[in-house]
Structure 1
Amino acid sequence: MFFTRSMTISDEELIGAVPAARSKPAAGQADTALVERLRSGEAEAYEELVDRFSGEIYGLAFRLTSDAADAADITQEVFIQAFRSIEGFRGEANLRTWLFRIVVNRARNRFRWWKRKRRDTTYSIDAPIGDGDATIADSLIDRSSSPEQDAIDSERMRALTKALAELKPIYREAVILADVEGLSYRECSAALGIDIGTVRSRISRGRDELRQRLKDI
């Protein structure tokens, strides 16, 4: 059972079912200093960039592609592109959002390639999220709760994950960035390369479709 009420699901309930994004520090002097060091070609700056953002980038890539191997490849590609393209970073968006836009574009390219190859993908919440045995499902369960609550939470996450995977890519991207990654409309606009009005429309449409897919669960 995913929701206790199946007739009407509000945005608040829908967003509440999504794992809460960790609060991110605002971009500021740290980003500015790191960008300048990257532009100077400092090796330690590249290592810091990877250390700071690799987990988030892999997580977003996995949620967009539904494939651990693809997500790992995209993560590597993103950092290579970021290092090569850092001169083009103008600071109109924060560094995290700029990196997310690269992730989105890489994921879109990968999706188009697989679509041409007619590859069917599945979105598994049991796929590993790193070098160890931990899975997405493991990371979403509150370990302080009871086994019964863990089972309910896991079932909810599986249902939501499946529903997200069934959305059209343009809606899935918007919902994931807003409701999973916690980006503002403005940040979503920068990451997706579309205007804020279109962002709002896609998020609204994506949430509506999720409600329809989850209403009988």
Structure 2
Amino acid sequence: MKKKDADLAAAGSPHHSPVLDKKAAKKAKEKQEKEAKRSPSNFMLLTPWFTRQNCEKLLTQVRSGDILEFNIKLHHHWGIAVLPKNKKPSLTTLEMAHLLRDKDGRQRVVRQALKDYWHEGVTARINNSRDVHKPPLAAGEVTSAALKLIVQPYRVWQNSEQMVVSCRYGDGQRARQLSDAARWGSLSRCVGLWLTLTSSTQSSPAGSPGPLRKRTVSVNF
């Protein structure tokens, strides 16, 4: 009886199909990719600097939507990491959206393979350190915002850093940066005007009646 029951149980138990297992694995992977797109990439990650020769560790950590920072002698350059679907990160497959100037000096956002930009002598790192101060957008939104800039008409950016900040944290952050820049620029101009007017009242033509009075400028912004 025991042997018969065991045979019946074995006959009634479902057999695992390689096809079904493959489909289940594919669905699980797609679900994982969708969840990754809905959450920020590598939250607050700040890696050490890497050269092109020892970039393997950076490539194992990078995700679409990360901010890439390049140290190029006298200046730094910034871009948004873009990894095509189902591709393993490498110098050839990993791309970035970043700001460049064309021959006429006009700014434009381009999509470029990492191998074509990361040259010898240049160090790079993942720099999402601003996440501690500003909530980043979901990874999918960051890459989508960066890629949309490629087909958009001419747009004024202060530098490549401002462009990546706008993509990772939203246009609201860029608007605040521009507002702050305009505010402090206005303040500087007003202070300069006040100093000019003040200094102009220090001297007066000979024989002018009455004491000298300083003129001040009141500005609201």
TM tier, smaller: under 0.3
Bigger share in helix: 1
Bigger radius of gyration, 1 or 2?
2
Which structure has more relative contact order (CA 8 Å, sep 6+)? It is 1
Bigger share in strand: 2
TM-score, normalised by the number of residues in structure 1 = 0.26
